[in-house]
């Protein structure tokens, strides 16, 4: 088995790897923290992080795109995945 520094996965950068896993061009580099496991979308002028989480009510946790996709904040998502309470 090759050592990590010798391994060539065929991608020239992390961005090209992420691009290969995106379902559509509009979503490229659209994640707030690519590679972190968070599904939340990046905040910016056209998509501010100014909405509360629908589960815990904490302010400024979601963007309008996150809300449209039915997301919750990362803390609530982590609790839900681990079977914890909100």
Token pair of 41, please?
């979308």
User: How big is the CA angle at 34 (ends 29 and 40), to the nearest 5 degrees?
Assistant: 85
Answer yes or no: is 4 within a domain: no
Answer yes or no: is 26 within a domain: no
**pLDDT tens for each residue of 57-78:** 999 999 999 999 999 999 999 9
74 is in which domain, residue-wise?
A: 49-86
Judge contact between 58 and 81, C-beta under 8 A: no
pLDDT of residue 13: 46
pTM above 0.85, yes or no: no
**pLDDT tens for each residue of 25-61:** 555 568 888 888 889 999 999 999 999 999 999 999 9
Domain count within the chain:
1
Cα Rg, the chain, nearest whole Å: 16
Answer yes or no: is 61 within a domain: yes
């Amino acid at each position: 088995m090759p050592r990590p520094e010798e391994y060539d996965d065929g991608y020239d950068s992390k961005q090209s790897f992420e691009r290969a896993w995106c379902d559509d061009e509009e979503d490229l580099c659209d994640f707030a923290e690519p590679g972190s496991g968070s599904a939340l979308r990046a905040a910016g002028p056209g998509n501010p992080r100014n909405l509360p989480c629908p589960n815990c009510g904490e302010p400024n946790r979601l963007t309008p795109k996150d809300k449209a996709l039915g997301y919750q904040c990362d803390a609530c998502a982590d609790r839900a995945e681990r079977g914890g309470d909100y």
